[in-house]
A = this chain, B = another copy of it.
Amino acid sequence: MSHAMVIAFDEGRLDWKHLMGGKGANLAEMTRAGLPVPPGFTITTAACLQYYDADRTMTREQKNEIASALSALEKRSGKKLGDPNDPLLVSVRSGAVISMPGMMDTVLNLGLNDRTVEGLEKLTGNARFARDCYRRFIQMFGDVVLGIPHYRFERVIDAKKKERGVDLDTDLTAEDWVEVTRSFKELVREETGEAFPQDPVDQLHRAIVAVFDSWNNQRARVYRKVHQIPDDLGTAVNVQMMVFGNMGEDSGTGVAFTRNPSTGEKVLYGEYLINAQGEDVVAGIRTPEPIAALADRMPDIYDSFVDIAARLETHYQDMQDIEFTVERGKLYILQTRSGKRTAHAAVKIAVDLVAEGVISREEAINRVDPDQLDQILHRRIDPEADLEVLAKGLPASPGAASGQVVFDADTAERWAQAGKKVLLVRLETTPEDIHGIVAAQGVLTTRGGMTSHAAVVARGMGKPCICGCEEIKIDLKKKEIRVENQVLTEGDELSIDGGSGRVIGGKVPLIDPELSSEFQQLLAWADEVRKLRVRTNADNPVDASKAREFGAEGIGLCRTEHMFMDPERVPKVRSMILAETTEDREQALEALLPLQRDDFHGIFRAMDGLPVTIRLLDPPLHEFLPNLEELQMEVARLQAKGDTDPRELREKEALLRQVRALHEFNPMLGHRGCRLGLTHPEIYAMQVEAIFQAASQAMSEGITVKPEIMIPLVGHVNELKEMRELVEQVAQKVQTTAAVDIPFTVGTMIEVPRAALTAGEIAKSADFFSFGTNDLTQTTFGYSRDDAEGKFLHHYMERKILPENPFITLDREGVGLLVSMGVNEGRMVKTDLKTGICGEHGGEKRSIHFCHEVGLDYVSCSPFRVPLARLASAQAALTEREEVAGTTS
């Protein structure tokens, strides 16, 4: 079967999805299940790949197979393609293995020509319908196959409406459409130099080729990049008998989800339009009615749809996204697929399906994509905040976003690349806007419903979105919005709350999310499965408590430098740095000691009973001083001015000299981490003293402390040896003074390649390794993250020079090799060496899988990523189980 070029729906199977694509396989499945699916056949992904292999030509074999599938379809439908008396009309739709909604091309009403349109008219007795179909076909074929811009056709229609003095397409008559069609055909001749093709088989072949080609259009490529879908899968093409939702008031079309894709609630959720074709709903040109209203309008249809929806959900064991059409009172199912959903909905649906006995706990764990969780774990608008609500739209994708208003996708992308946060505001979005949606914090449209393009895409990406906010008037020419009595121009701040549909003026204050009971349940199941422990990166008691709430089992990285950044402390820190003698420095440090002690004390309280890894000071000292450039400019200005106070100038000049002395060419590779600890042991000594004093105080309050002192940036075991000695000396001193016995360990970050390469040596002096994979990625690649992301990494991702951004997903071949060398060499020397990761990778799905595979003890991530890490760890463990089962079976 692996090379089948064409498969009829009634011969296909769901598990041929790799060949038939998602849509085709589902149509086949539904057909076999006896659902009312219009007949048709699928041209497979194998055919698509063969087409590309043959330099974008259809082979004779393909054409032959299509011809015989077509005759079978003609037989089954009782109609013939091109038969003027009873013409078969078909839709030609893309259908990739992994769904890419709206990204590729579709041609509807294919088979119409100057003669069959008359047959259709006679057959249906509906001239307006037939003429409308024909003009739609020419328009779509012209756009998709012939490459004539859509707006060229729209202009013709607009001219006709103007001429007729009407506003809506539906106000145009059959005669009007005949004239429009005539103009369309002229337009085609003008643009292509040829007449509009009248041979339906020729039409079909060309439409199929256009769909194949659309696999590689720009928006499809961007979508695949965003969703990390391989480029070499190709798309299938589905040829299906047309059914018509636009045959009058007893016809219609709609889209529905078997559960609410936003909240997960078990209720049919969708929209329909009477007397319309499918694309009218999706494109958001008319705002549709909610599906529930169908119960009143077409009760029988509604009931049988409800019944079919339930059957489909049970059959697929998942929430379904179903397209249907009613043609003159008869219901057809055009498509079903697993519905895109928000993270919140994904969690609720998965847990509910377990409760309903449909899926197992393990399946539930695998049903939620950790990447999506960002959505629910991100902050939302503070309900206490005083908001200036400007308007309300449809709550199409939950979450809050603030940003500068932009009106087109290109600007959104450009501004975002320049580091701005933008909010994309559009009348409606189209697949061409995809790069703008990627770049924006959120999307706001003034037209379209909950299943419109903007809504579907935004939900898929977890971006806040409001649709159909008609109170807002957009003036694209002036680049401004009018709402209430306000005028906002491009660049003004605006916020949206995609969960409530509120459009809010200015920036909004955000608060922490809470976990739903379903989410708690899912994570509890995950905890039973996972092997990796999950810790958090937290520098203060508030974050620590939050993370603990989210299930963190300790702190994997407590950065002590943030404690130095507190504006009140900065003067003390500076006087410490600028001290000219060790004595002066020690005096300044003494002033900092009680402050640091309080920091640690609060953290120990928050983490009672759990381990807390504290990293001693890491950044170069100049980070705490005034910026060199600014200071320089200031001095230059003071020098140039005639009336400067000479004393002020002298002081600034002196400060400048000191800042310059500490300045570094490559601070990332400079005098920081344990290099500082070695040249300025008094700083580390103060920090260690503060840690142990705090621990001792906490213990006296009945708190269980487990401090783990972490020495940063070790590259040679001798660095760790000396620092360990210092830690132990100071710890001994504090313990003796306080007469307590504090259990503690000393370990190191593995964050430069040399540390990983010599891990065996380093392990001799370390109780634990924590892989700092951010710095390790920087040094292994030789990339400065600050420079790379702005200067060339973007280009690298675009050109696929790197398969992924290594700062987001851990690079297995390079950085990963060092990590596994580090773990293995380290454990060879010390079997009970504790190992973890504390870079941002510790909160990223695929990197967590890697951490599980190399057998780390824990991952540590930011508090809001702790639930994600718990889930991803469980999935990693389940994957391993499956693989083990696979190899043993």
Q: Which residues of A line the B interface, CB within 8 A?
A: 628-629, 632-634, 636-637, 639-641, 664-671, 675, 678-679, 713, 715-716, 718-719, 722, 751-754, 757-758, 761, 775, 778-784, 786-788, 791-792, 795-796, 799-802, 811, 813-815, 817-818
Across the interface, do B791 and A664 meet the contact criterion of CB distance under 8 Å?
A: yes
Q: A668-B669, A715-B781, A813-B758 are in contact. Are A753 and B637 (CB under 8 A)?
A: no
Closest 4 A-B residue pairs measured CB to CB?
Answer: A666-B784, A752-B782, A669-B784, A640-B640
Contact of A636 among B637, B669, B791 (CB under 8 A): B637
Residues of B within 8 Å of A818, CB to CB, are 753, 757
Taking the closest CB of chain B, its distance from the CB of A2, in whole angstroms, is 29
Across the interface, do B666 and A669 meet the contact criterion of CB distance under 8 Å?
A: yes
Can you give 9 contacting A-B residue pairs, CB < 8 Å?
A632-B633, A665-B668, A665-B784, A666-B668, A669-B788, A670-B791, A722-B801, A754-B781, A754-B814
> CB-nearest residue of chain B relative to A714?
B782
Q: A761-B813, A782-B775, A814-B757 are in contact. Are A788 and B670 (CB under 8 A)?
A: yes
Across the interface, do A782 and B751 meet the contact criterion of CB distance under 8 Å?
A: yes
Residues of B within 8 Å of A778, CB to CB, are 669
CA–CA, A632 and B669, complex, Å: 25
Known: A679-B791, A722-B799. 5 other contacts (CB 8 A): A665-B668, A675-B791, A715-B814, A716-B802, A719-B801
Taking the closest CB of chain B, its distance from the CB of A195, in whole angstroms, is 41
Across the interface, do B757 and A780 meet the contact criterion of CB distance under 8 Å?
A: yes
Residues of B within 8 Å of A754, CB to CB, are 780-782, 811, 813-815
Taking the closest CB of chain B, its distance from the CB of A806, in whole angstroms, is 9
Copies of this chain, complex-wide, total 2
CA–CA, A752 and B752, complex, Å: 12
CA–CA, A154 and B55, complex, Å: 98
Contact of A678 among B664, B665, B752, B796 (CB under 8 A): B796
> CB-nearest residue of chain B relative to A795?
B679
Taking the closest CB of chain B, its distance from the CB of A488, in whole angstroms, is 29
Residues of B within 8 Å of A636, CB to CB, are 632-634, 636-637, 640
CA–CA, A800 and B786, complex, Å: 33
Residues of B within 8 Å of A799, CB to CB, are 678, 722
> CB-nearest residue of chain B relative to A778?
B669
Taking the closest CB of chain B, its distance from the CB of A289, in whole angstroms, is 51
Contact of A791 among B634, B671, B715, B782 (CB under 8 A): B671
Across the interface, do B675 and A802 meet the contact criterion of CB distance under 8 Å?
A: no
Contact of A633 among B633, B718, B775 (CB under 8 A): B633
Q: A679-B792, A722-B801, A795-B678 are in contact. Are A715 and B632 (CB under 8 A)?
A: no
Residues of B within 8 Å of A791, CB to CB, are 664, 670-671, 675, 679
> CB-nearest residue of chain B relative to A669?
B784
Of A775, A791, A795, most B-chain CB atoms within 10 Å: A791
Taking the closest CB of chain B, its distance from the CB of A21, in whole angstroms, is 29
> CB-nearest residue of chain B relative to A634?
B636
CA–CA, A754 and B796, complex, Å: 16
Contact of A666 among B641, B666, B753, B814 (CB under 8 A): B666
CA–CA, A795 and B722, complex, Å: 13
CA–CA, A706 and B689, complex, Å: 64
Across the interface, do A713 and B666 meet the contact criterion of CB distance under 8 Å?
A: no
Residues of B within 8 Å of A669, CB to CB, are 666, 668-669, 778, 782-784, 787-788
Taking the closest CB of chain B, its distance from the CB of A759, in whole angstroms, is 11
Taking the closest CB of chain B, its distance from the CB of A636, in whole angstroms, is 4
Taking the closest CB of chain B, its distance from the CB of A313, in whole angstroms, is 44
Q: A718-B802, A751-B782, A814-B715 are in contact. Are A787 and B629 (CB under 8 A)?
A: no
CA–CA, A754 and B816, complex, Å: 10
> CB-nearest residue of chain B relative to A715?
B781
CA–CA, A791 and B672, complex, Å: 10
> CB-nearest residue of chain B relative to A644?
B640
CA–CA, A729 and B666, complex, Å: 36
> CB-nearest residue of chain B relative to A666?
B784
Taking the closest CB of chain B, its distance from the CB of A547, in whole angstroms, is 29
Residues of B within 8 Å of A752, CB to CB, are 780-782
Of A667, A782, A788, most B-chain CB atoms within 10 Å: A782
Of A636, A637, A795, most B-chain CB atoms within 10 Å: A636
Taking the closest CB of chain B, its distance from the CB of A762, in whole angstroms, is 11
Residues of B within 8 Å of A666, CB to CB, are 666-669, 784, 786-787
Residues of B within 8 Å of A668, CB to CB, are 665-666, 669, 782, 784
Residues of B within 8 Å of A667, CB to CB, are 665-666, 787
CA–CA, A264 and B269, complex, Å: 99
Residues of B within 8 Å of A628, CB to CB, are 629
> CB-nearest residue of chain B relative to A718?
B801
> CB-nearest residue of chain B relative to A802?
B716
Residues of B within 8 Å of A795, CB to CB, are 678-679
CA–CA, A752 and B782, complex, Å: 6
Taking the closest CB of chain B, its distance from the CB of A374, in whole angstroms, is 27
Of A634, A787, A813, most B-chain CB atoms within 10 Å: A787
CA–CA, A754 and B801, complex, Å: 14
> CB-nearest residue of chain B relative to A793?
B675
Residues of B within 8 Å of A783, CB to CB, are 669, 715
Of A640, A668, A754, A780, most B-chain CB atoms within 10 Å: A754
Contact of A782 among B713, B786, B817 (CB under 8 A): B713
Taking the closest CB of chain B, its distance from the CB of A3, in whole angstroms, is 30
Across the interface, do A753 and B632 meet the contact criterion of CB distance under 8 Å?
A: no
Across the interface, do A718 and B800 meet the contact criterion of CB distance under 8 Å?
A: yes
CA–CA, A817 and B755, complex, Å: 12
CA–CA, A716 and B800, complex, Å: 11
Of A637, A671, A757, most B-chain CB atoms within 10 Å: A757
CA–CA, A422 and B788, complex, Å: 41
Taking the closest CB of chain B, its distance from the CB of A614, in whole angstroms, is 21
Residues of B within 8 Å of A632, CB to CB, are 629, 632-633, 636
Residues of B within 8 Å of A722, CB to CB, are 799, 801
Residues of B within 8 Å of A670, CB to CB, are 784, 787-788, 791
CA–CA, A349 and B442, complex, Å: 81
CA–CA, A818 and B213, complex, Å: 45
CA–CA, A270 and B572, complex, Å: 64
Taking the closest CB of chain B, its distance from the CB of A75, in whole angstroms, is 51
Across the interface, do B664 and A715 meet the contact criterion of CB distance under 8 Å?
A: no
CA–CA, A154 and B742, complex, Å: 59
Across the interface, do A671 and B792 meet the contact criterion of CB distance under 8 Å?
A: yes
Residues of B within 8 Å of A775, CB to CB, are 782
Of A639, A753, A801, A813, most B-chain CB atoms within 10 Å: A753
Residues of B within 8 Å of A796, CB to CB, are 675, 678
Taking the closest CB of chain B, its distance from the CB of A470, in whole angstroms, is 42
CA–CA, A795 and B792, complex, Å: 36
Contact of A786 among B633, B639, B665, B758 (CB under 8 A): B665
CA–CA, A794 and B179, complex, Å: 88
Taking the closest CB of chain B, its distance from the CB of A209, in whole angstroms, is 29
Residues of B within 8 Å of A814, CB to CB, are 715-716, 753-754, 757-758
> CB-nearest residue of chain B relative to A639?
B637
Of A669, A675, A722, most B-chain CB atoms within 10 Å: A669
CA–CA, A636 and B751, complex, Å: 40
Contact of A675 among B639, B640, B792, B817 (CB under 8 A): B792
CA–CA, A628 and B19, complex, Å: 58
Taking the closest CB of chain B, its distance from the CB of A814, in whole angstroms, is 4
Taking the closest CB of chain B, its distance from the CB of A753, in whole angstroms, is 4
> CB-nearest residue of chain B relative to A813?
B758
CA–CA, A718 and B791, complex, Å: 18
Taking the closest CB of chain B, its distance from the CB of A184, in whole angstroms, is 40
> CB-nearest residue of chain B relative to A673?
B782
CA–CA, A795 and B679, complex, Å: 7
Residues of B within 8 Å of A753, CB to CB, are 753, 779-780, 782, 814, 818
Residues of B within 8 Å of A811, CB to CB, are 754
Taking the closest CB of chain B, its distance from the CB of A188, in whole angstroms, is 36
> CB-nearest residue of chain B relative to A670?
B787
Taking the closest CB of chain B, its distance from the CB of A590, in whole angstroms, is 24
CA–CA, A873 and B736, complex, Å: 58
Across the interface, do A817 and B757 meet the contact criterion of CB distance under 8 Å?
A: yes
CA–CA, A818 and B639, complex, Å: 51
